[in-house]
């Protein structure tokens, strides 16, 4: 895409999987027009709350289905962690209006968050 040619970028659960997430963030910012918005959903991996939730939901379902490599798959696919991604997002959008909302504990420590949603509006 051309510079400043896009009104909105929406990224859901993408940054955990990318080998160079900061490069993706910079590219998203480059293509957004002034006043454009980036909406970025980031699961906060790995926290105790996400591991506990996964243990009683998806890991259990995977085992019932006969899949024994669930933890290895998560380790291979979720190559980035929430704290590092938070720092990258805050750096790339440092000159813009950036809001972050966390769940289930707003503004709680990283270990208490299941996910964070970032809204960056370009200056």
Q: What is the mean pLDDT of residues 38-57?
A: 89
Is the pLDDT assigned to residue 48 strictly greater than 80?
yes
What is the pLDDT confidence band of residue 113, given thresholds at 50, 70 and 90? Answer: confident
What are φ and ψ of residue 57, in 5° steps?
-120, -90
CA distance 20 to 118: 19
Can you give the pLDDT at residue 109? 80
Rounded CA separation 120/123 (Å): 9
Q: Work out the percent of the chain whose per-residue pLDDT is above 70.
A: 100
Distance from C-alpha of 122 to C-alpha of 26, rounded to nearest angstrom:
12
The confidence score (pLDDT) of residue 35 equals 98
Are residues 15 and 42 in contact, defined by beta-carbon separation less than 8 angstroms? yes
**Structure confidence at residue 50 (pLDDT):** 85
Asked whether the bond before 99 is cis by omega within 30 degrees of 0, the reply is no
Residue 32 CA to residue 5 CA, distance in Å, equals: 6
Mean model confidence pLDDT for the chain: 93
Edge to edge, what strands does the sheet with 6-12 contain? Answer: 6-12, 32-43, 115-121, 97-103
Q: What is the pLDDT of residues 86-102, one digit of tens each?
A: 999 999 999 999 999 99
Q: Which tens digit of pLDDT belongs to each residue from 72-90?
A: 999 999 999 999 999 999 9
């Amino acid at each position: 895409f051309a510079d400043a040619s896009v009104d909105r970028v929406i990224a859901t659960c993408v940054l955990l999987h990318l080998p160079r997430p900061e490069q993706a963030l910079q590219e998203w910012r480059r293509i957004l027009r002034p006043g454009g918005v980036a909406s970025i959903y980031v699961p906060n991996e790995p926290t105790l709350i996400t591991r506990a939730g996964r243990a009683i939901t998806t890991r259990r379902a995977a085992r019932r289905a006969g899949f024994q490599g669930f933890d290895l798959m998560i380790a291979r696919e979720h190559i980035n962690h929430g704290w590092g991604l938070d720092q990258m997002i805050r750096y790339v959008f440092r000159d813009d209006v950036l809001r972050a909302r966390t769940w289930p504990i707003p503004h709680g420590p990283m270990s208490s968050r299941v996910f964070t949603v970032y809204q960056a509006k370009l200056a």
